[in-house]
Amino acid sequence: MAQDDLKRAVAKAAIAYVPDDCIVGVGTGSTANFFIDELAKIKHKVRGAVASSEASAKRLKGHGIEVLSLNEAGDLPVYVDGADEITRHMHMIKGGGGALTREKIVAAASKKFICVCDASKLVDVLGKFPLPIEVIPMARSYVARQLVALGGQPELREGFTTDNGNVILDVHGLQIMNPVELESTLDHIAGVVTNGLFARRAADVLLLGTPEGVKTMTA
């Protein structure tokens, strides 16, 4: 079964978690795009969406779904998004698409985080996928030195600027045994806006696309 079919299947399954008449939090990336396309089929049942990126906002609007700011919407019942890696404890690496800061904010404001992934994203230990870190441009070299001191090999994502006007350092070579602790440590480096560890606010439900069907997992 092709990876896109698995992504489409989990996106479809996530619709069951969207309550009637709600404002839904929407993530970023190819799996989130499939979810947006599924959401369009029930758009008459929802009030609108809060998007975690300009790209997702554009796709939502293209389907005629109203996009609200998080400030207008307040707390959300549900946030649906993909991940680059996820463990059985529901800890994730996110930010492959560079939208990690807005994703973390919308996830924080949501009661339930539904993570939608194909089976390749499930791992025992986080860190094979380079950890994205959004950084204020003037702090880039300073932050990179701190990341080297922590044992990582940071690499600037060339030619990429986030929706917030910042740069991304992708950190290679980490074996993340304690994601909750590392998430806090990274957040305390001056110049770091957000790191791509989603461990303190982990997913509540993982919908995992496998060739045998969609598996539902919780921590």
**99 near ligand 5RP, judged by CB under 6 A:** yes
**94 near ligand 5RP, judged by CB under 6 A:** yes
Annotated active-site residue 103? The verdict is: yes
β-pairing verdict for 131-135 and 167-172? antiparallel
25, 82, 127, 130: which one binds ligand 5RP (CB under 6 A): 82
Q: Given the structure tokens 């919308």, which residue do they identify?
A: 106
Max distance between CA atoms of the chain, in angstroms, equals: 52
Select from 33, 147, 25, 127 the least CA-distant residue to 86: 127
Select 142 or 160, whichever has its Cβ closest to ligand 5RP.
160
Minimum Å gap between C-beta 95 and ligand 5RP is: 5
Select 36 or 44, whichever has its Cβ closest to ligand 5RP.
36
CB atoms within 10 A of CB 136: 16
Label residue 210 left, alpha or beta by phi (over 0 means left) and psi (-120 to 50 means alpha).
beta
Tokens of residue 148, six digits: 């080297």
**38 near ligand 5RP, judged by CB under 6 A:** no
Minimum Å gap between C-beta 65 and ligand 5RP is: 19
Q: Report the catalytic residues.
A: 103
Residues within the interface to ligand 5RP (CB under 6 A): 27-31, 81-84, 94-100, 103
